[in-house]
Amino acid sequence: MDSQNTATRIAGAEVRLAADGQADRACVLTDGNGSFRLDKLQAGGVNVEVTFPSTPTYQAMIVPVDTVKDKTTVVTIAALRSGVTPPTSVTLSPSDAQVDVGGEVQFDADVRIYGVPANIVPSFSLLGDIGTLLPSGLFTATKVGTGEVTAFFPQASVSANVEVIGPRVPQLGTLAVSPTNLPADGGPVRIAISATDGNGIARVEAKIVTLNKAPGTLVLLLDSGNDRDGSWAGTFTAPANSNPIGWDGVQLDQRYSVQVKVTDRSGTSTKSGWVDFVVAGLEAPPGPP
């Protein structure tokens, strides 16, 4: 692909193993989508030579590719345009990642030419059959195992370790309930929680209980982020205090408790702790003057 426009895929590029002194090295041509495949490579890494005989637009390059026995390395090669100075440094964020099956990690590359930021996309490689890696650096985990994501140019490279683990229950942040004190006539209460899950969150539901009443439920909706890493929120309207008024004119506070259950797309769920809020009772009327 074009390092300055990833939507441009380069057909007709010649790809071959780099080897000095071999004039008859077999090569493959990239197809209309810019794709190619090399099989039965030696383990321990190879250098791949890429040339562009059909166009002078791009620079020829030597691409180092890590290889491991019986595993596939997926490489996206970002071709530099003619006249562009090759970047001298590249860093990746995050530098290491752990994600459950079905999860995603966005690897962002900071590319510089002699310290100056460059608007150029690096080549990417994914070592290990643990997922897929888009030209944008978005990794999606598909199988438990370990692997390595590398961003590179002919003169600079950096790698990040990736560990894919089995599906986990959703990981919850702090349950927030606001306000926690309401007047006797009730009012709106905002319930919110953050959650992360590699499979994606399918449902977030708040359970609301109070003494002598059947539990109520409130479905929380995605408020920010996405279904794999976001915040969910909803508003519960608390009714007026329904506790009886005593002989002395005093009405006890009505206490509610809230718990949230989060379920991911695999059906695995987890629950938050309980958080309380209170609808105040009526105070005794003032005595006679």
CA distances from 37 to 30, 44, 265 (A): 9, 18, 34
171-279 CATH pick, 2.60.40.10, 1.10.10.10, 3.40.50.920, 3.10.105.10 = 2.60.40.10
Query: What share of the chain has pLDDT > 90, as a percent?
Result: 63
Nearest CA to 15 among 44, 32, 43, 35? Answer: 35
pLDDT of residue 285: 62
Residue 164: other Cβ atoms inside 10 A: 25
pLDDT of residue 40: 85
Query: Does residue 154 come out as left (phi exceeding 0), alpha (psi in the -120 to 50 range) or beta?
Result: alpha
Residue 72: other Cβ atoms inside 10 A: 12
Classify burial at 271, counting beta carbons within 10 Å of its beta carbon; exposed 0-12, middle 13-18, buried 19 or more.
middle
Domain layout of the chain by residue ranges = 14-165, 171-279
Residue 1 near residue 135, CB atoms below 8 Å: yes
pLDDT of residue 47: 87
Q: How confident is the model at residue 267 (pLDDT cuts 50, 70, 90)?
A: confident
pLDDT of residue 46: 86
Nearest CA to 80 among 110, 36, 113, 106? Answer: 113
Residue 29 near residue 35, CB atoms below 8 Å: no
Q: How confident is the model at residue 288 (pLDDT cuts 50, 70, 90)?
A: low
pLDDT of residue 203: 96
Instruction: State the DSSP code for 88.
Output: S
Determine the Cα–Cα distance for residues 124 and 151; give it in Å rounded to an integer: 5
Residue 211 near residue 166, CB atoms below 8 Å: no
pLDDT of residue 199: 77
With residue 55 as reference, give the H or E element that holds it.
none
Give yes or no for residue 235 having a pLDDT over 90.
Answer: yes
Instruction: State the DSSP code for 57.
Output: S
pTM exceeding the 0.85 threshold for the entire prediction: no
With residue 174 as reference, give the H or E element that holds it.
none
CATH number of 14-165: 2.60.40
pLDDT tens profile 110-157 = 999 999 999 999 999 998 889 999 988 999 999 999 999 999 988 899
More confidently predicted of 18 and 156: 156
pLDDT tens profile 50-78 = 999 988 999 999 888 888 888 888 899 99
Determine the Cα–Cα distance for residues 20 and 121; give it in Å rounded to an integer: 29
User: Would you say the CATH fold of 171-279 matches that of 14-165?
Assistant: yes
Looking at every residue in the chain, the average pLDDT score rounds to 90
pLDDT of residue 20: 58
- Strand 46-51: give its sheet, edge to edge: 27-29, 14-17, 46-51, 61-65
Nearest CA to 263 among 169, 180, 177? Answer: 169
Determine the Cα–Cα distance for residues 196 and 166; give it in Å rounded to an integer: 15
For residue 117, the one-letter residue type is P
Give yes or no for residue 21 having a pLDDT over 80.
Answer: no
Give yes or no for residue 172 having a pLDDT over 90.
Answer: yes
Q: How confident is the model at residue 25 (pLDDT cuts 50, 70, 90)?
A: low
For residue 188, the one-letter residue type is P
Q: How confident is the model at residue 287 (pLDDT cuts 50, 70, 90)?
A: low
